[in-house]
Every structure is written in C-alpha cells, then in structure tokens.
A and B are shown apart, each in its own frame.
Chain A
Amino acid sequence: MSDSYITKRALAEAMKELMLKHPMEKIKISDIVELCNMTRQSFYYHFKDKYDLVNWIFYTEFVENIQNMLEKSGWLLIEKMCMYFYENRQFYVNALKVRGQNSFSEYFNEVMHPIIYSQFEDVFKDDKNTEFYATFFADAIRVAITRWLQEEIKITPEEFVRMIKMAVTGLAYKLIKDMEKQKEKA
C-alpha cells in the first residue's frame, strides 16, 4: 500500500469519525487534520476541500464494495447497494444533506446513474429509444434512493427496494391487466 494511500485513508477515517458527531458543514479542515495528527499542507496535497475528501471516501469504499456484488443483477444488485448505504447510513445521510455545486449529492448522482442505468438498458435493449427509457427509470430510482437517505432512512432497505420494485413492475402488471380486461370487453 502506498504512503499516499495510507495518508488519504487516515484523513478519510478522521472525516468519517467527525461525521458521526457533527453535521458536515460544521466540520473544518483543522478538525480533520488535528484528529489524525497531520498538517493542513498534507490535506491540501491530496484533496481540494472536505467535499473532495467525502467524494473520495464514497468512490473508493462504495466501488470496492459494489465490485463484490456485481454478479448479482437487477433488483438484487439495487437491494445490495441499499443495504450498503443502510450499514453506512450516518455517513451518507450527513453527506447528502449538503446541496449545491461540487457537493457530494452531485457526485453521488454521477456515480449512481450509470450503475442503475445499465440495469435497465438491458431490459429495453431492442428498442430504438433505449437511452430515454433507461434514463427515465435510472433517474427515478436514483432520486428515490437519495430521498430515502435524506429522510434519514425510515424504512429498511428490503422494504424500500420492495416498494420501488412494486412501483415499476406493479405498474406494468396493472397496465397489462387493464389492457386484457379492455380486450375481453371488446
């Protein structure tokens, strides 16, 4: 493991510890470096600001975690992702409360979108409007996950994913049933 990685990991652990106790806006660079006995200089050598650090934590931890889940596909993958967020809920709930440019929520969207998108891309792959449909569902689920986290996770990941699944597949099922009924009447 490189020295540079060890330094970044130490800064990350300090940030995560602070985020368990304080809102992210209140955390200063001096708090982070003090907690892991480093200098401001070494912080800025690696990161632009605290948002940059939080993005790095998300990318390295989440992506590492998700790599082991990729054999699962579709809803199971989405459920596994939600379980991961649930296990690390204090960090994500806190990070997602900060909005605006360069904030974590923007980066969260950038990483989450392609993962969810690729699940739906396969469903619509024979349609000429694949991109539109896959983006529509990817956006809906990503926003739902963000809201679930921002509302401080009031339901379990299993229940949450069951409801999303119901909203997507249940709607399709209902529409087909309605169409069949109309056909029968005709």
Chain B
Amino acid sequence: MHMPNRNEIIYRIIEAAVDKGIKDITDNPNRGLRRLLDLGNHFAKKGFQKSFFRIASQVLNDESSPYYKLADNIVRNVDPHIIKRFGINLGYNCWTYGAKKIREHEKINGYNIPWTIVFYLQDETENGLSVSQISDILNTAESIGTFCGMFFLNEDIEKLRSIIKMLGEHRRSCYILFLKPEIISDEIANLISGSYNIIVAFDTNDIENNQLCKNGARILLDNKCLYGAYCTCNDSNLNYYISDSYLETLEDLKCSFAFYINKSLYEMKNKLMFSKFMSDSKYRGSYSLFLIDFYEDLSFIDRVISTDKCFIAIKNDGSIMTLKDGTSAKGLNIKTHSLKTILKKTMPRPQYI
C-alpha cells in the first residue's frame, strides 16, 4: 500500500533521525537515549505520545534508571532495521498518522475504530481464517488508520510461516506475535527478524523449570529479534508473576518487555495489587523491561485516540469479541461481514444532543 506523499516524506525524515539516534545510543547509551526521547517529545504534538515522552524523560533524569540498560540491550542485541521499522510504524504510522486517519474516519462514519486488532487464532477449527482473508482484513484496517495487529497463534508451523511472510508485506504496519516457546526455531526466528515489522512475545505460563522458554529466548536473541514475554494472570498465580523472581528470570532471558494479560482476577485484593504493580513498574521502573497491561494499556490508547475503548478481537472461526460484553458479538463474523460493518455495529459513537 502506498502512503500519501506527505506521510512518506515524514516517515523518511524520522528514519534519518532514528538512524542517528541508534548510532548515538551505541556511542553513549545514556545521552543517546535522552536525545532520542527529547526528539520524540519535541515532535509529538499532543495526546498520550506527548505524555509518554514527558514521563519517559522524567524517568531518565535518574542516571541509574534501568531503562538505560533496556535501551542498551535493545541497541546491542536487536537488528537495527527492526528497531527502526517497528518503532516508526508504531510511533508514527499507528499513533500519529494512523490516529489522525482514525479520527477523521470516525467523525464521518459515526463509529469508533481500534488502533490495533487482536487475532485469537489458537483454536483449531475446520474453516479457520485463511492467510489471505487475514491480509484482506489488515488492508481494510490500514485504509481506516489501524496499523497494528496482535496475533495469538498455536503450534501450526505451516500457518505461522505463511502469516509471517504475509505480515512482512504489510510493511507500513507493525505486528506482535504471541507464540508458544516450543514453536520458535531458527528458521522461524530468521523469518521474523527479516520482516523488520514483527516482534515476538513468548508464552511464560510454564516458565518455572521450563527449558523451552530459555531455548526460545536464546534463538530469538541469536537471530537479533526484538522479543519479550507474556503471562496470563489469575488469582492463584498473580503472586508469582509480580515477584522479583519472575521478573529477574525475564531479565536473564534478555526480554525487552512483558505483557500481563489479566484474564481472570476476581478477588478485589488481587485486582488492586495487580493495578498497583503495573502503575509502580511504569513510573518507578525497577526492571530493565517494559511491562504492559494487555487490556488496560491497549484500551488506554484507544481512549486517547477515539475517546472510548474499542477493543476488538477476531477469532479463528471469524467470530468477533469485544470488551463491551466480554463475549462474541452475536451474529457477526468477519467471513460474512466486512470489518467496517462489524465496527459500525459494535462500536457506535455516542450521540450527544
């Protein structure tokens, strides 16, 4: 897909700055990172981008902040093409150019548009979504300003290969693959790193005493991928996932980020503990990795762009899930309805009289 010329030029100008930023970080990590964030702050016009850069700059006023170590690790271990392409696709295409396009589209058509689409493709189903159907959905998404996708995948290696190749062709978007560590091989990691616009979060639900996570992380590291981990929290495992032991393990595996998926925290004390942990970890930054609250942080960005949360997930059978009722949006299926129709029916904008 060809972007309008104005955005193409801005994209290229940012590329030149990021290239220099990466060189600067290699040369002097602390100063280089400050410079890159200052530059982001300077050009961020408004919204959460501006507050992100402001908070990040404040955190980096502390010379001993672990985020310096994180930036240093990324620059040393990740292919610079990935840092550049994934970073600009997320920072500019999704959150600046895409956000603007989303707002324009929402205003004209009267429904909200998510900044990212989640695909739950783990379930084996006879008539699962084909790779070309997924690509069509991504094309439609790009046309309305959504330049990010998150894919939860199973162990079907053939499908994984095809998806990676297809995602690489959507070169102005960025994608996160949520994978089981056992599926990560040199061949897969090589395909991922060669796409430049894909990063990986591997499943750590069995990380204790699990060699598979170590192997997966080593392969991703060897192939210069940008990667992190994810865990699904519930009332019985929360204490472990917010423990130093878990986070130190992720640091040892050289993870750059960790997604926390709050799927079934029912007890109030656990809900509070989880939310305090997430908030403390962001502002105080005790570990050299980014911690992301999957549902809350994704929705937060939606609320900034669209003024309302508009989380949407597509399952392998084409059915739709939103956060509004927590179940599949009844009767809607991406195989029989277009993405725009689904959004129109599930994400209407409030009408004020």
- Give the B-binding residues of A (Cβ under 8 A): 2, 4-5, 8, 45-48, 55-56, 59-60, 63-64, 66-67, 70-71, 73, 107, 110-111, 114-115, 117-119, 121-122, 125
Contact = CB atoms under 8 A, between A and B. Distances in A.
Interface string B18-47: 011000100110010011001101110000
A117 to B, nearest CB: 7
A74 to B, nearest CB: 9
A107 B6 contact: no
A70 B5 CA distance: 9
Contacts of A67: 10
Contacts of B20: 55, 107, 110
Contacts of A122: 5
B323 interface: no
B6 A70 contact: yes
Contact of B13 (A4, A5, A63): A63
Interface of B: 2, 5-6, 8-10, 12-13, 15-17, 19-20, 24, 27-28, 31, 34-35, 38-39, 41-43, 54, 57
A115 B34 contact: no
Given A2-B38, A114-B16, 8 more contacts: A4-B57, A5-B42, A46-B31, A46-B34, A56-B35, A60-B39, A63-B17, A118-B5
A71 B6 contact: yes
Nearest 9 pairs between A and B by C-beta? A114-B12, A70-B6, A111-B16, A118-B9, A110-B16, A118-B8, A2-B57, A115-B9, A63-B13
B27 A48 contact: yes
Given A70-B6, A115-B9, A48 B28 contact: yes
Contacts of A71: 6
23 contacts: A2-B38, A4-B57, A5-B38, A45-B31, A46-B34, A48-B28, A48-B31, A59-B39, A60-B39, A63-B13, A64-B43, A67-B10, A110-B16, A110-B19, A111-B17, A114-B12, A114-B13, A114-B16, A115-B13, A117-B12, A118-B8, A118-B12, A125-B2
Contacts of A56: 35
A73 B91 CA distance: 24
A114 B15 contact: yes
Contacts of B6: 70-71
Contacts of A73: 5
A68 to B, nearest CB: 11
A160 B5 CA distance: 24
B308 to A, nearest CB: 30
A70 B57 contact: no
B41 A2 contact: yes
Q: Which of A64, A70, A107, A125 has the most CB of B within 10 A?
A: A70
A121 B41 CA distance: 30
A46 B13 contact: no
A43 B54 CA distance: 21
Given A2-B41, A2-B54, A4-B38, A66 B31 contact: no
A70 B10 CA distance: 9
Contacts of A45: 31
A117 B27 CA distance: 29
B42 A60 contact: yes
